Amino acid sequence: MTSIALLLLRLVAGGTLMAHGYPKLFGGPGRKPPEPLTRVMGSNFPAAVERSGPEAFAQSLRRMEVPQPELAAYASGLAEFGGGLLLILGACTRLASAAVVFNMAVAIRKAHWKVGFYGQGGFEFALLLGTAAATIGLVGPGALSVDAIRRRLR
């Protein structure tokens, strides 16, 4: 049951992270997600993709006085999209978890802290994703994962 619970946590947390990283990496003016992705993500997703993208996200980071905002925009998108994908697969789990935890910690401090824990713009969502990633990293991905398969093949 533990491996099924970890798989469920990895699927939901990883999928949510990927959904938030996709617009940061692949979005921008005139960009649209593939139709199957829109069906899964919902009607709000295309607008999020079009108004996002690395350049728009870097501008937001610049306003928050994040150092090297262009690099930070790609690093954040990669931590979310790539880290989410790795968590789903249960591959390189500790590295992926560390990247997500660091990214969520920076997001909490730079973007959400001033609002507080609860409500629109609050840090509860980033804290939840970071905690899920930390839990997976500390406990491990479980038996239903690429990491476990690689261990068995050694």
pLDDT tens digit sequence for 91-104: 999 999 999 999 99
Q: According to DSSP H, which parts of the chain are helical? A: 2-26, 35-41, 45-51, 54-63, 69-89, 93-107, 124-139, 146-153
Return the biggest CA–CA distance within the chain: 48
Q: How far apart are CA 84 and CA 88, in angstroms?
A: 6
The band of 3, judged by pLDDT with boundaries at 50, 70 and 90, is: very high
**pLDDT higher than threshold 90 for residue 154:** no
Q: What is the pTM of this model?
A: 0.94
Percent above pLDDT 90 for the chain:
99
